[in-house]
Amino acid sequence: MIVWEDFAKVDVRVGRIVEAADFPEARQPAWKLRIDFGPEIGVKRSSAQITNYSREQLEGRLVLAVVNLPPRQVGPFLSEVLTLGTYRHETVLLVDPGAGAEPGDQMA
């Protein structure tokens, strides 16, 4: 169990994927994402093992991501945010913030 104060430190925001690029250097199949979190945070990068989505399904899609973790080196790529998803067997499903969400919105 964690205490509420620890959970409250996690900053989860809505972002829009503006680019999904191939990541052939990754150990596990993944995409290199550029995600726009609006004017306050800007565009950040994320490595995401969401290969069940095509580039066309990703680009323009709204997602939720943790934006206040330290950057993490994933091979030659620096991942700045953690894109959130759920596991369904071996598949990762992106968390959908819902209709009406805008980049930069904070999870309540």
What does the domain layout of the chain look like in residue ranges? 4-94
Quick: pLDDT tens for 48-106. 999 899 999 999 999 999 999 999 999 999 999 999 999 988 889 999 999 899 999 99
Q: Which residue has the tokens 């994927």?
A: 17
pLDDT above 90 (res 108): no
> Is residue 5 pLDDT above 90, yes or no?
yes
Which neighbouring-strand residues pair with 22? 31
| Whether the Cβ atoms of residue 85 and residue 92 lie closer than 8 Å to each other | yes
Distance of alpha carbon 6 from alpha carbon 73, whole angstroms: 24
Angle at 22 between CA 17 and CA 27, to 5 degrees: 115
Q: Could you tell me the fold of the domain covering 4-94? A: OB fold (Dihydrolipoamide Acetyltransferase, E2P) (2.40.50)
What confidence score (pLDDT) does residue 26 get?
A: 87
How far is CA 108 from each of CA 38, 66, 98, rounded to the nearest angstrom? 17, 13, 13
Tokens of 3: 């205490």
